[in-house]
Structure 1
Amino acid sequence: MFTESWTNPRRNIIKFANITLSAILLASNALPAAFAAEPIVPTNLEPHHHVILENQYVTVMRVMIRPGESTLFHEQHLDYVNTHVDGSPVQASYPNKPAKDFAMKSGNVKFGAHQGHSEVDKITNTGSSLNMQIAFEIKQAGPPGFGTASRPSTPAFQQVLDKKSVNGWKVTLQPGESSGVYQQKGPGVRVFFTEGRVLEAIPGRPNRNKEIWVHKGDAALTTAGPVEIINGGDTPLVFNDYELK
């Protein structure tokens, strides 16, 4: 063997090359299996989706994705309302189809009709600032059956969502302005785009109000009944008001 290694160097080089090539091929064949093993989790267990509010009707999550970070692959199997509080460009990756680049624009609302046909994706923040969303899953299958939701026909209310299970309005109240009294038929969620002081009338107690201070990105659960919201601050108050129907 010692003599052959010196007298046949070309043969040894060929053997070494064949062994190296075989090792590279084995390693490359193992890569797809490793990527395929990437975990898929329910949306409410994905680490970037922080559950902040929940009742029998909805699960509300604050989603925060830093620049360059990605969520895990997560499965959405319930109807899903997503409010983009601080948007960014993102890339959505899927297990069995090409990735897609698009912009989540601040203030936009996305509805995912996932009852009966779930979707799995992974979102990467390809921008340079934090991506923050408030999203909620609707737990009931089909329309919950609370009735047709409506709001006052005033410039303060702009409808942004009209689906079989949920309606949504963007509400803008100037300092001191009232929404007017309206009747909410089903439970819902509020998502705030600005900070400020909010006065909410207490039903049956004239001129008595619950006062809270809200921040950008705050969310609140709401219930059926008469509602009046007053901007108790000195800057415009902007929020989205969602109601199950």
Structure 2
Amino acid sequence: MLGAQVVGAAMLPGRANAAGEPEIVPIEFASFHDQTFKNEYLQFMNVTIPAGGMAAYHSHYRDFAQVYLAVSNAEGTPLGGKPLIVPRKVGEVLFTNYTKKPGVHQVVNVGSGDFRIAGFELFDSEPGRFTPAARPEPYVTVMDNHRVQAWRLILQPGETAPAMRQVAPGVRIVVQGGELIEGREGKPDHRLNLKFGDFAWQDIGPARTIRNTGKSTIELVEFELK
């Protein structure tokens, strides 16, 4: 879940099978993984590895997109490989094409703080059902590949993102929270108080605007599926 080298899970030290090889678990059964949402398209995982947390080997065979929410020194080890620490930044977006190249790995958080990611695993193995539409500024494209497109939206207090129409289903991950109002075409305004790390499923829907009505900077990462 942390790219090709680093992911989060947990197991007891020395856990192995009868042949003495590391026990490998599916991602959804790995410790420190909270499967908070699941539908026909994806399963969403919220992963927080505490300082000193030891991760188990677990497998990935579905494409995976994620956002880093808290970073610490995470020492990842591919099965049969050597440990590696990959520096990351809060708000960084990553996609791993596990459908093409499945992987197995573990991680140990050797830093002093939590290591946290929020991401989702795509159930279908091929794209082609949806085609996301362009979004106006201040939306900024941060990912655009054969499976997903993602935008970052940063709004200062009082700022508004102009109308855009979501034509593909997707997810929203909150990097910095705050109070906002979503104006939706033909529907009442929707007032929200978003918190850091919140996740929301977003269906195809009418044109919407977003206005920051609070006192703090809001930062969102929104994905649409392909």
- Where on the TM-score scale, by shorter chain, does this alignment land: which range? 0.7 to 0.9
Residue in structure 2 matching 1:130, options 95, 114, 126: 114
The answer for the alignment partner of 2:198 in structure 1 is 218
- Post-superposition CA distance 1:73-105 (Å, at most 9, x none): 111111101110111121111222222222232
1:183 paired residue number: 165
TM-score of the two chains, using structure 1 as the length reference: 0.80
Q: Tell me the residue number matched to 1:42.
A: 26
Letter of the aligned partner of 1:68 in structure 2? G
8 A Cα contact 1:149 1:167, kept in partner:
no
The 1-side partners of 2:35 and 2:171 are apart by 14
- Output the CA distance in 2 between the equivalents of 1:127 and 1:52: 26
Check conservation: 2:148, 2:223, Cα contact below 8 A: yes
Q: Tell me: CA distance 1:36–1:188, structure 2 relative to 1, closer, same or farther (3 Å).
A: farther
- Alignment of 1:202 onto 2:184: yes
CA contact (8 A) 1:144 1:244 kept: no
Alignment-derived partner of residue 229 in structure 1: 210
SS in 2 for 1:149: coil
Structure 1 residues 39-48 or 163-172, which shifts more?
A: 39-48
Query: Whole-Å Cα distance in 2 between the matches of residues 71 and 203 of structure 1?
Result: 46
For the structure 1 residues 220 and 33, does the alpha-carbon distance in structure 2 shift closer, same or farther, using more than 3 Å as the test? closer
Cα deviation for residue 115 of structure 1 reads: 0.9
With over 3 angstroms needed to count, the CA separation of the structure-2 counterparts of 1:199 and 1:33, relative to structure 1, is closer
Is the CA contact (8 Å cut-off) linking 2:43 and 2:121 kept in structure 1? yes
User: RCO higher in 1 or 2 (8 Å CA, sep ≥ 6)?
Assistant: 2
Partner of 1:41: helix, strand, or coil?
strand
Distance 1:36 1:122 in 2: 16
1:138 is displaced (CA, Å) by: 1.2
**More helix per residue:** 1
Deviation at 1:178, TM superposition (A): 1.9
Q: Which structure 2 residues correspond to residues 78-227 of structure 1 after superposition, within 5 A?
A: 78-152=62-136, 154=137, 156-205=138-187, 208-225=188-205, 226-227=207-208
Structure 2 residue identity aligned to 1:224: I
The secondary structure found in structure 2 opposite 1:181 is: strand
Counterpart position of 1:28: none
Q: 1:98 to 1:167 in 2, by over 3 A?
A: same
Q: Percent identity?
A: 27
Q: Which amino acid aligns with 2:44?
A: V
The C-alpha deviation readout for 1:158-208, integer Å capped at 9, x for no partner, is 211111010111100122222111111111111111121121223313xx2
The whole-number CA distance in structure 2 between the counterparts of 1:136 and 1:86 is 17
Q: CA 1:149–1:113 in 2, change beyond 3 Å: closer, same or farther?
A: farther
Shift of 1:32: 9.2
Q: Is the 8 A contact 1:176 1:233 kept in 2?
A: yes
Query: Which of structures 1 and 2 has the bigger CA Rg?
Result: 1
CA offsets 1:195-235 (integer angstroms, 9 cap, x no match): 21121223313xx2111211111111111122322212122
User: RMSD value over aligned CA atoms?
Assistant: 1.9
Query: CA distance change for structure 1 residues 137 and 111 in 2, over 3 Å: closer, same or farther?
Result: same
